[in-house]
Amino acid sequence: MNTLYRQLPSIDKILNSAQGELLTARFGRSAVVNQLRSLLQLARRQIAQQQQLPRYFSDFSILYKKLAHDLQQQRQVAIKKVHNLTGTVLHTNLGRALWGQAAQQAALVAMQENVALEFDLSQSKRSHRDQYISELLAPLCGAEAVCIVNNNAAAVLLLLATFAAGKEVIISRGELIEIGGAFRIPDIMQQAGCKLVEVGTTNRTRLTDYADNITENTALLMKVHSSNYQICGFTESVGEADLAQLARQHHLPLISDLGSGALIDLSAYGLPTEPTPQKMLADGVDLVSFSGDKLLGGPQAGIIVGKKEYIERLQQHPLKRALRCDKVILAGLEATLRDYLFSEKLTDSNPTLRLLTQDPEHLQTLAEPLLRKLQEKLGADYALRIETSSAQIGSGSQPMYRIPSLAVTLQPHSAKNADLMQLIRSLKQLSQPIIGRIEQQKLWLDLRSVANPQQLLTTLDEL
Domain match, 133 and 209 both: yes
Q: Tell me how far apart the alpha carbons of residues 463 and 376 are, in angstroms, rounded to a whole number.
A: 10
Q: Tell me how far apart the alpha carbons of residues 205 and 172 are, in angstroms, rounded to a whole number.
A: 6
Last residue of a domain, one of 314, 349, 384: 349
Domain match, 136 and 213 both: yes
pLDDT score at 261: 82
Determine what percent of the chain is predicted with pLDDT higher than 70: 96
CATH code (residue 316) = 3.40.640.10
The β-bridge relationship of strands 183-184 and 178-179 is antiparallel
Q: Tell me how far apart the alpha carbons of residues 273 and 265 are, in angstroms, rounded to a whole number.
A: 6
Domain match, 295 and 214 both: yes
What is the arithmetic mean of pLDDT over 415-439?
Answer: 90
Q: Tell me how far apart the alpha carbons of residues 220 and 58 are, in angstroms, rounded to a whole number.
A: 74
Q: Tell me how far apart the alpha carbons of residues 407 and 87 are, in angstroms, rounded to a whole number.
A: 8
Q: Which residue from 403, 391, 362 is spatially nearest to 271, judged by alpha carbons?
A: 403
Q: Tell me how far apart the alpha carbons of residues 244 and 394 are, in angstroms, rounded to a whole number.
A: 30
In this predicted model, which residue has the larger pLDDT, 269 or 457? 457
In a domain, 207, yes or no: yes
Last residue of a domain, one of 292, 316, 349: 349
In a domain, 181, yes or no: yes
Domain match, 409 and 342 both: no
The pLDDT confidence band at residue 182, using thresholds 50, 70 and 90, is: low
Q: Tell me how far apart the alpha carbons of residues 264 and 284 are, in angstroms, rounded to a whole number.
A: 19
Q: In Å, how far from its chain's centre is CA 248?
A: 36
In a domain, 96, yes or no: no
Residue 429, pLDDT above cutoff 60: yes
The pLDDT confidence band at residue 58, using thresholds 50, 70 and 90, is: confident
The β-bridge relationship of strands 183-184 and 434-435 is unpaired
Q: By three-state DSSP, how is residue 172 classified? A: strand
Give the range among 79-93, 197-211, 296-310 with minimum mean pLDDT: 197-211
Domain match, 377 and 344 both: no
Residue 177, pLDDT above cutoff 80: no
Please write the tens of the pLDDT for every residue from 358-404: 999 999 999 999 999 999 999 888 999 999 999 999 987 777 789 99
Detail the DSSP E strand segments found in 153-193. Answer: 168-172, 178-179, 183-184
Mean pLDDT of all residues in the chain? 93
Determine what percent of the chain is predicted with pLDDT higher than 90: 79
Q: By three-state DSSP, how is residue 130 classified? A: coil
pLDDT score at 234: 66
Range of the domain at 335: 101-349
Could you give the dihedral angle defined by the CA atoms of residues 43, 46, 47 and 53, in that order, rounded to the nearest 10 degrees? -60
Residue 415, pLDDT above cutoff 70: no
pLDDT score at 259: 86
In a domain, 321, yes or no: yes
pLDDT score at 445: 98
Task: Please state whether 2 falls in left (phi above 0), alpha (psi between -120 and 50) or beta.
Answer: alpha
Domain match, 413 and 333 both: no
Residue 456, pLDDT above cutoff 70: yes
pLDDT score at 183: 67
Q: Tell me how far apart the alpha carbons of residues 457 and 462 are, in angstroms, rounded to a whole number.
A: 10
What is the arithmetic mean of pLDDT over 324-336?
Answer: 98
Q: Which residue from 347, 335, 258 is spatially nearest to 298, judged by alpha carbons?
A: 335
Residue 86, pLDDT above cutoff 70: yes
**Do residues 202 and 231 lie in contact, with contact meaning Cβ atoms separated by under 8 Å?**
yes
Domain match, 205 and 289 both: yes
pLDDT score at 181: 57
Residue 233, pLDDT above cutoff 90: no
Domain match, 169 and 71 both: no
What is the arithmetic mean of pLDDT over 264-277?
Answer: 90
Detail the DSSP E strand segments found in 218-292. Answer: 218-224, 254-259, 287-291
In a domain, 173, yes or no: yes
CATH code (residue 444) = 3.90.1150.110
In this predicted model, which residue has the larger pLDDT, 226 or 196? 196
In a domain, 368, yes or no: yes
Half-sphere exposure of 227 (CA within 13 A, CB side): 26
Domain match, 157 and 292 both: yes
Running DSSP on this structure, what letter comes out for residue 273?
-
Domain match, 47 and 106 both: no
Last residue of a domain, one of 292, 326, 349: 349
What is the arithmetic mean of pLDDT over 329-347?
Answer: 96
Domain match, 68 and 117 both: no
The pLDDT confidence band at residue 227, using thresholds 50, 70 and 90, is: low
b/e 17-43 (16+ beta carbons within 10 angstroms → b): eebbeebbeebeeebbeebbeebbeeb
In a domain, 286, yes or no: yes
Q: Tell me how far apart the alpha carbons of residues 192 and 180 are, in angstroms, rounded to a whole number.
A: 19
Q: Tell me how far apart the alpha carbons of residues 311 and 152 are, in angstroms, rounded to a whole number.
A: 15
The neighbour count for residue 268, using CB atoms within 10 Å, is 11
Domain match, 345 and 358 both: no
Q: Into how many domains does the chain fold?
A: 3
Residue 160, pLDDT above cutoff 70: yes
Instruction: State the DSSP H helix or E strand holding residue 200, giving kind and residue range, or none if neither.
Output: none
pLDDT score at 228: 54
In a domain, 281, yes or no: yes
The pLDDT confidence band at residue 190, using thresholds 50, 70 and 90, is: confident
